[in-house]
Structures are given as C-alpha cells and as structure tokens.
Amino acid sequence: MIAQIPGTTEDWYVSFNRKTGINSGTPEGGNQVLVHKRPSGLGYGESTLMAKLSIGNTYSGTDAPPLQITVNAINLSANPAFASVTIGSVVTPVPTPVVTPAPTPVPVPPTPSHTHVWGVNSSDRIYYRAGFSGSWTRIGGALKQVSVSGDGNHVWGVNSNDQIYYRAGFSGSWTRIGGGLKQVSVSGDGNHVWGVNSNDQIYYRAGFSGSWTRIGGALKQVSV
C-alpha cells in the first residue's frame, strides 16, 4: 500500500513495508510504516526515506509534509496484514486564554448611626453631638424628649406641652407637626414614626410626609 501526498516542490509517500514474500529479506523498516519524499513530477525518481514508524508513532515537523502522519495500528495476523494510518492537517493548539477574575470590590461600610447623638437635659434644652469623639452643641428650642433616625437626617421631638416638632438633621430647623404626643420614636431610615399621647393612645405616621393614624391599644411609651 502506498499513499501519495502531493506537494508544491516535493511529493510525499506513505507505505506499509510488509516483511513477507519477495520482501521478506528487507533489511530496513520491516513491518513498519515508511515515509518518503521525492521531487515533484511524473515518472521515476529517487526518493529519500524520512521516517520509519511503529504503532503509536507520529511524524511531523519542519522536514515533514504539510500533514501529520500517525500510525494507529499494525495488524500482522490479518490476511493480508495491514497498517491503520491517519493522515491529517497539523493543527497548532490554541492556548486557552487565562481569564483573570475581576477584583472583588471592597465593601464600603455605611455611615455608622452612632455618629449622630441628640439629647435633652432637665431644663428641656436640646443638645447635639457628632458621636463619641464630638462635643456637645446647644440647639435652639426646648423639648422634653427627642428621637433621631440612624442617618441623622430625621429628628423628632415633643415639648412640655406635648407639641410635636420635626427637624431635617443638624442643619435643618424645627417645624411644628400637627397633633399632640408625650413621647415619639422614629425608625432608623426615618420612614416610620410612632408615638403615644397623654391618654396612652398609640399613633403611627409614615415619616414626615405621612399623617397620624390611630393604632389600637394603650401604651405609655413606644420604640421603633
């Protein structure tokens, strides 16, 4: 068996050199797959032996034809004996790109709620402090009780007459809110306000823009 691989300037040939019959005395490459080359053209010509391949061998490289030749099997027990050969294009493996994972973003901690402290003294004077490291600042007005949201942007309080006041944080100003409560409490986000009046009746309000709604029950103090 001979397979020809035509080339531009050289032709390549693949053959199974069965060592039997009139070829039983072959001194080289017996029962192997041989790879030859010769100058392109018709008729007889001198060829050059390039490789002798056994089972599992592959021939390719700079001196090789533009194809890769691999011996898959050689069966000498079959009648006639044969060699299984794969002739295929040389495929240059493309390296798998290395994907660099995006860096994990460093979480930015929220502004701690303890940086806004409000309080009142026994004379109903109002004071503000920017957390533990701050210092007390007197705030205008008079309240007997005060409550502040976690971000410090919503401050609620009641005075000695149970009048309700709201302030948009340290930089805001007091706004009178309708109703009467003896104690008020605002949620961390400022969107929920609860309070009780002098009769221990409970009221709820959806933030500054809401309106008071009576809630069933009776409490002398509430917290949210």
Residue 107's pLDDT band, with cuts at 50, 70 and 90, is confident
**Tens of pLDDT, residues 7-39:** 667 788 888 888 888 888 888 888 898 888 888
φ, ψ of residue 22 in degrees (nearest 5): -70, -15
Quick one: pLDDT at residue 44?
75
Quick one: pLDDT at residue 165?
97
Question: Average pLDDT over the chain, rounded to whole?
Answer: 87
188 and 123 co-located in one domain: yes
Quick one: pLDDT at residue 63?
60
What tokens were used for 174? 């007091």
64 and 130 co-located in one domain: no
**Tens of pLDDT, residues 209-221:** 999 999 999 999 9
206 and 142 co-located in one domain: yes
The amino acid at 96: T
Q: Which residues form the domain of 33?
A: 2-89
100 assigned to some structural domain: no
Quick one: pLDDT at residue 113?
53
165 assigned to some structural domain: yes
DSSP per position, 1-34 = -EEEE--SSEEEEEEEE---GGGTT--SSTTEEE
66 and 121 co-located in one domain: no
| Cα radius of gyration (the chain) | 47
157 assigned to some structural domain: yes
Question: What is the rounded CA–CA span in Å between residue 153 and residue 87?
Answer: 78
Quick one: pLDDT at residue 45?
73
126 and 188 co-located in one domain: yes
Quick one: pLDDT at residue 6?
73
- Give the other-Cβ count within 10 Å of 132's Cβ: 8
Question: What is the rounded CA–CA span in Å between residue 106 and residue 52?
Answer: 62
What tokens were used for 189? 């986000």
What is the three-class DSSP state of 88? Answer: strand
129 assigned to some structural domain: yes
72 and 127 co-located in one domain: no
Q: How many domains does the chain have?
A: 2
Residue 81's pLDDT band, with cuts at 50, 70 and 90, is confident
101 assigned to some structural domain: no
